[in-house]
Amino acid sequence: MIDCTEQLPTVRYQANEYNKTTMKSKAYLFLTTAWSAFTLPALAQTAADSTVSTVSSAQAGITFAGYVEAYYSHDFTAPKTNQERPGFLYNHKRNREVNVNLAFLKGAYTSERIRANLAIEVGTYAQYNYAAEQPLLRNIFEANAGVKLSKTKDLWLDAGIFTSHIGFESAISKDCWTLTRSILAENSPYYLSGAKLTYNTANGKWTLLGSMLNGWQRIARLPGYSGPSLSTQVQYKPNANLVLNWSTFMGSDRPDSLKQTRFFNNFYAIINPNKKVSAILGFDIGSDRKPVGADGRRVGSGNYLWYSPVAIVRYSLSDAVKLAGRVEYYDDKNGVIITTGMPNGFKTWGYSLNVDYFILPNALFRVEGKVCDSQDAIFEAKSSLSKTNTSLTTSLAVSF
């Protein structure tokens, strides 16, 4: 996800008193969903990282794979002539047209001490997420090489362009429980570039990662920014039924002259007692230090904060049919990540329900209905601006 302050147009102001009773009911709904995530059994999900591999010398070699996801998204709120979904979304972006969200061909080499990945991509995911990158880099889904530093320990050094370790969702929709991405996933990194050290304990319960990066979802470093960024991950799997994850980002996505340090945290828990009902709880919170003005003085003290909780519950009717519901909230009152031009910034609830049907083990058809409800009228409508946005998305994803 590139910075929404570069892409989301400022919408005009309309003073609307927010309904406090509605806000309380939404908060109750979110907390109820969150509680059910802890009390119901769950099926685990983690974002795929192709730099994670454990192979023997007998398994070494080159493999090829591919993925194609076609979709149709219908925005019921926006004018019929609008070609794009709201500006804070970067997947399944095109409106009222059949298109390809993500398609890639990938080659991978793995051996006991060496690994490498190269994947070339096309689709609207690449079009909107890589818009800030150099033209020759916009079609690289991943390109990295790694070496195992120890003969006895699972310690790897990898360098290049990677899928992000931040968050439980990825750009590969079939690996996610919901068809569309959560607002927090859309507005945190899908990919990272740099170098990283990864250590997995012998019992498989702990993963520790430290990385030096070019920036906040950036292959080319931001003009005017000189320093590298740092990122970490601590993941704990006490058993097959539970995953606990904490990932961080430390750096900036602003020029040095503004002196805006960013510190970002991503937390999630996945619970997996059985294969029938599953749940994910996620929470993102980030801060940017207030900038330095033209006079050399900082614009106020403290930091700009944004945060987002999300709860997803999934129910498996069978191996072929699954249902998933999501409740989420995103609060960015200062417009650090998502700019609206409204007095309350971006304060939006999201609700979705999707049905998945596995036609074959590697062919997935999905339908998802989604509603976004904002404190201010920020969504384009047929005659004015609206506080709500309603959409229906379908997709067909095939992997090979």
Q: Does 296 score more than 50 pLDDT?
A: yes
The rounded percent of the chain whose pLDDT value lies above 90 is: 81
* Over residues 257-277, mean pLDDT: 93
Q: Which helix (H) or strand (E) holds 141?
A: strand 140-148
Question: How far, in Å, CA of 287 to CA of 230, rounded?
Answer: 15
Domain extent listing, the chain:
4-399
Residue that is written with structure tokens 């909107």 in the block: 128
Point out the least confidently predicted range of 34-38, 247-251, 315-319, 332-336.
34-38
Average per-residue pLDDT in the chain?
Answer: 89
Question: How far, in Å, CA of 69 to CA of 65, rounded?
Answer: 14
Q: Does 2 score more than 70 pLDDT?
A: no
DSSP for 37-64, written as a single string: HHHS---------TT-----GGG-EEEE
Question: How far, in Å, CA of 209 to CA of 213, rounded?
Answer: 13
216 residue type, one letter: W
Question: How far, in Å, CA of 256 to CA of 292, rounded?
Answer: 10
DSSP for 236-285, written as a single string: EEEETTEEEEEEEEEE-SS-GGG---EEEEEEEEEE-SSSSEEEEEEEEE
Q: Does 39 score more than 50 pLDDT?
A: no
Question: How far, in Å, CA of 219 to CA of 136, rounded?
Answer: 11
What count of residues does the chain have?
400
CA distances (Å), 32 to each of 40, 210, 268, in order? 12, 35, 17
Banded model confidence at residue 18, pLDDT cuts 50, 70, 90? very low
Any idea which fold 4-399 has? Porin (2.40.160)
Q: Are 192 and 217 in contact (CB under 8 A)?
A: yes
Q: Does 35 score more than 50 pLDDT?
A: no
- Taking phi over 0 as left and psi of -120 to 50 as alpha, with beta for the rest, 167 belongs to left
- Kindly state the DSSP code that residue 203 receives in the 8-state scheme: T
Question: How far, in Å, CA of 99 to CA of 68, rounded?
Answer: 11
Dump pLDDT digits (tens) for 50-98: 676 555 545 679 999 999 999 999 999 999 999 999 999 999 999 999 9
Dump pLDDT digits (tens) for 356-396: 999 999 999 999 999 999 999 999 998 899 999 999 999 99
Question: How far, in Å, CA of 22 to CA of 329, rounded?
Answer: 14
Question: How far, in Å, CA of 129 to CA of 122, rounded?
Answer: 11
Alpha carbons within 13 angstroms on the beta-carbon side of residue 85 total 29
Tokens (6 digits) for 7: 């892409």
**pTM of the prediction?**
0.85
Neighbours of 10 (CB within 10 A): 10
* Over residues 248-268, mean pLDDT: 96
Q: Does 29 score more than 50 pLDDT?
A: no
Q: Are 252 and 262 in contact (CB under 8 A)?
A: yes
